[in-house]
Amino acid sequence: MGYAKRAFRLYRPVMRSARIVFVLLAILAAETTSVEADLATTPGESPYIAPEGKALVVFVRKRKRLASEVIYSIVNERGRCIASVANDWKVVARVEPGTQMLMVVTGVAQPQVQLLKVKAEAGKTYVVKMRPRVNAKNPVELTILRRSTEPLEMFPASLRETGPFKPNLEECTAWVAKRQSKLATKAARAKEAWKAADKEFRASHTIRGADGWTGDEVTGPVDD
């Protein structure tokens, strides 16, 4: 509990924000569509199984020996946080099926924005590993685990060992809304960089429908 409180102290100054009116949708939604999903889970069900008609993205950030406690905020096209990831956390984000562009926001005084494209299929669970990069244009290295390249195409057994952390997304969303003007500028630059990037870069930062696992595969045989 003490660690969670420290990790989220970055958001506390703006946690009283009541409603979010966000302009990033106009910047990011030109070529994608998405609908905001709730974050409820079915009691007794594995947190890594996508509920009917939805898809999940699991963001995994392993602890690194860094003094920084910078949070990685995953923001959808409606300007709401769907995940907030600190060191050594696994966080599950629920998304609607279809194509959408997510923002990975890092930093506080000078936040940076990276883009992650998601082409989700209903009933699938996707996994993205996150690793910090020092003195890099993109401060977070994003690695998509793809079903076709995993051993025996199995869902990573290490993810099933512990449940995901559940951050306070209202605090995160309020923090993002407080900085909407600055983030809108950063998002526009990220969109231009995305368009200018080569096909290999865009492909490596795009979750494809076939990259995920079904519920039966998530709870299937453990990869020893």
CA-based nearest residue to 130, from 90, 178, 170: 90
The answer to whether residue 20 is domain-embedded is yes
The answer to whether residue 178 is domain-embedded is yes
Please say if the pLDDT value at position 145 is more than 90: yes
User: Considering only 61-65, 109-113, 160-164, 199-203, which range has the smallest mean pLDDT?
Assistant: 61-65
CA distance 160 to 150: 15
CA distance 96 to 79: 15
The HSE-up count of residue 31 (CA atoms within 13 Å, CB side) is 9
Total number of domains constituting the chain = 1
Mean pLDDT of the chain: 81
Per-residue confidence (pLDDT) for residue 137, from 0 to 100: 82
Q: How far is CA 66 from the centre of its chain?
A: 21
Query: In the beta sheet, which residues pair with residue 162?
Result: none
The answer to whether residue 26 is domain-embedded is yes
Return the SS3 of 106. strand
The answer to whether residue 224 is domain-embedded is no
The answer to whether residue 223 is domain-embedded is no
The answer to whether residue 143 is domain-embedded is yes
Whether this model's pTM surpasses 0.85: no
Per-residue confidence (pLDDT) for residue 134, from 0 to 100: 78
The answer to whether residue 65 is domain-embedded is yes
Return the SS3 of 124. coil
Q: Are strands 55-61 and 89-95 parallel, antiparallel or unpaired?
A: antiparallel
The answer to whether residue 82 is domain-embedded is yes
Residue 97 structural domain: 2-40+47-218
Please say if the pLDDT value at position 127 is more than 50: yes
